[in-house]
Amino acid sequence: MLVTMSQKELDRIPVLQQLCDKRLTQSRAAKLLNLSIRQVQRLLNRYQIEGAAGLSSRKRGKPANNRAPDELRFKILMLLREKYSDFGPTLAAEKLLERHCIRISTETLRNWMTADGLWVPHSRRKPRVYQPRYQRDCLGELVQIDGSHHDWFEGRADKCCLLVFIDDATGRLMHLHFCETESAFDYMNATRQYIEKHGKPVAYYSDKHAVFRVSQAETRQTGVTQFGRVLHDMAIELICANSSQAKGRVERANKTLQDRLVKEMRLENISSIESANHWVETFVSDFNRRFARPAKYPKDLHRPVQETPAELADIFAWHELRTLSKSLTFQYDKILYLLDPTEENTRIAGQKIEVFDYPDGTLAFKYAHRTLSYQAFDKLACVDQGAIVDNKRLGAVLRLAQVHQDEREQDGKRERSKKMPKRRAQARVQEQLKAINPVLANPAEFRASLKR
C-alpha cells in the first residue's frame, strides 16, 4: 500500500533510526524533533513495528472533525448553480449570508466551487498575453491626448483639468492646456492652439471619453462627435484606445505632472488657470529638455495649416442643423430666431440651415456658405406687463408669452438646453433681445426713460 508522507515526517526517520541504534538518547531526540519525550517514545514504537509507514499521520485521508455536512454542501452548490453561477466565492459567501442566512467561510466555498467547476483559481487560468507596442518612428506620427483631473493648485484655486498632448515617438510634451472641465470646446481650443504651434499631426490617440466617441444610441444619428468632426475637417485621424494601458505614455506623463508640475506652480505662486496657461510653456521646455528623446527617424510628420483664420473659426465652432419654417423662424437653445423676410430667404423656407456656435459665445447661421442675418427673441425671458412691441412682432410675442405662462403654471422655471455648449453669456442674450425690441431686454430701464 502506497503511503503519502510529508517532508516533516520524512525528516523524523534518520533521528528515530539513530535512536534505534542507540546513538542518541530520547531526550536528545526530543530536542532535535521539537517533541516531548513521551511523543518520541510513541513514534519509536510505531517505527519499530510498522517501519517508516508508521510515522505518517493517522488523520490523513479522513474527514475533518469540523467538516460541514454533505447535505449543507449540496444545498449551497444547488443555490450557486441556480442563482449565483457567475459569482465569485467572496461575493457568493456574502449573498448566502444576507439572503439565505447560511454562514460559510470564503475559502471553504472557494474549494467547493473549484471542485464543482463553478470557479477557476487564478493560478489555473490561461494567462492573458500583453504584447508590447513599439513607439512610433517619427515626430507627429501619433500624439496621445488625455485629460487629467487633479487639484493642480493645491487648494489655492478650484480643482480643474489639464489637457495633455504628448508625442508617442519622442515622449515630448507637445502642449498643455488648463481648463475647468474636459469638454468638447476645451479640446477644440487646445487642439487649435496645438496646430497653430506645431502643425497638423497624422493621428490623435485617445480614450473612449464621450468627447471622442459616440454612444450606441447616438450612433444612429450622426456617428461622430463634435470633436471628431473637427479632426475630420482638419484631416487628422482619431484613434480610440481599448484600455488605459494602451496609451500608457500619456497616463505615466499625467502621474509625473501631478508631482512635478504641481510643485513647480507652488514655487512660482501660480493660483489661477489663466496664469498657469501663460506660464506652462516654460515648464514644457524644461520638461522636454530633461525627459524627451530623439525619434527613430528625424522626419517631422506635422503638416502645415492651409486653412485661413476664418475657415479655422468655422471648423472649431459647434455645428448644429436647424430647419427653417415657412415663417422664416427656427429655434436654437430655446431662443427663437427670425430671418428677414427677403425674397432670397423666402426661397430657402423648409431647408436645413447650419448653426455655428463659436467658443466666444457668438453665433452665425449659414445656408450654402451664405451668412444669414437674423433677429432673436428669448423664449425664457418674461414678457413684461405694458411692454411696447412692434406690430410686426406682436404675433411671435403673444405665442411666446403663452408658452411662458404654461411653463410658469407648471412651476417649471426652465433652464437653457443641456445639450448646448456650456458657455452662453447673459450679455449676449440681452443683445439678442435688443435686436427685437429694446423693451424686452430691459423693461425697467425703458420705463425710467419714459418718465424722464
Total number of domains constituting the chain: 4
Distance of alpha carbon 59 from alpha carbon 69, whole angstroms: 18
- My answer on whether 173 and 286 are in the same domain is yes
Closest to 335 (Cα-Cα) out of 435, 434, 439, 432:
432
Residue 129 is assigned to a structural domain of this protein:
no
- My answer on whether 178 and 87 are in the same domain is no
- My answer on whether 451 and 327 are in the same domain is yes
- How large a percentage of the chain has pLDDT more than 70? 80
pLDDT score of 220: 44
DSSP state letter for 209: -
- My answer on whether 280 and 149 are in the same domain is yes
- My answer on whether 150 and 294 are in the same domain is yes
pLDDT score of 333: 82
Pair 89, 113: CB distance under 8 Å: yes
- Cell 454533505 identifies what position? 70
Residue 272 is assigned to a structural domain of this protein:
yes
Last residue of a domain, one of 310, 337, 363: 310
- My answer on whether 231 and 299 are in the same domain is yes
Residue 138 is assigned to a structural domain of this protein:
no
- My answer on whether 190 and 256 are in the same domain is yes
pLDDT score of 151: 94
Residue 388 is assigned to a structural domain of this protein:
yes
- My answer on whether 180 and 280 are in the same domain is yes
Residue 329 is assigned to a structural domain of this protein:
yes
Give me the long-range contacts of 103-109 (CB less than 8 A, separation at least 24): 104/68, 104/72, 104/76, 108/68, 109/76
Distance of alpha carbon 108 from alpha carbon 93, whole angstroms: 10
Last residue of a domain, one of 277, 310, 343: 310
Pair 115, 233: CB distance under 8 Å: no
Domain range for 34: 7-55
Three-state DSSP string of 12-79: HHHHHHHHHCCCCCHHHHHHHHCCCHHHHHHHHHHHHHHHHHHHCCCCCCCCCCCCCCHHHHHHHHHH
- My answer on whether 101 and 157 are in the same domain is no
- My answer on whether 363 and 280 are in the same domain is no
Last residue of a domain, one of 278, 310, 342: 310
Residue 377 is assigned to a structural domain of this protein:
yes
pLDDT score of 150: 94
pLDDT score of 3: 66
Distance of alpha carbon 97 from alpha carbon 221, whole angstroms: 47
Residue 343 is assigned to a structural domain of this protein:
yes
- My answer on whether 35 and 180 are in the same domain is no
**CA angle in degrees (0–180, nearest 5) for 259-261-264:** 110
pLDDT score of 213: 85
Q: What is the CATH number of the domain that holds 230?
A: 3.30.420.10
Q: From the CB of residue 178, how many other CB atoms can be counted at a distance below 10 Å? A: 23
Residue 234 is assigned to a structural domain of this protein:
yes
pLDDT score of 219: 43
pLDDT score of 234: 93
Number of helical H runs and strand E runs in the chain: 17, 12
Question: pTM, whole model, 2 decimals?
Answer: 0.61
Each residue's pLDDT tens digit in the chain (452 positions)? 566 788 888 888 899 999 888 898 989 999 999 999 999 999 999 888 888 888 888 777 777 778 888 899 999 999 999 989 889 999 999 999 999 999 999 999 999 999 999 999 988 888 876 666 778 899 999 999 999 999 999 999 999 999 999 999 999 999 999 999 888 899 999 999 999 999 999 999 998 888 888 866 544 455 788 999 999 999 999 988 887 777 888 999 999 999 999 999 999 999 999 999 999 999 999 999 989 999 999 999 999 999 999 999 999 999 989 999 988 889 888 788 888 888 888 889 989 999 999 988 889 999 988 888 888 876 555 555 555 555 545 555 566 666 666 665 555 555 556 666 665 444 454 555 455 555 545 555 555 555 55
- My answer on whether 82 and 147 are in the same domain is no
Reported as type and span, the H/E element at residue 388 is none
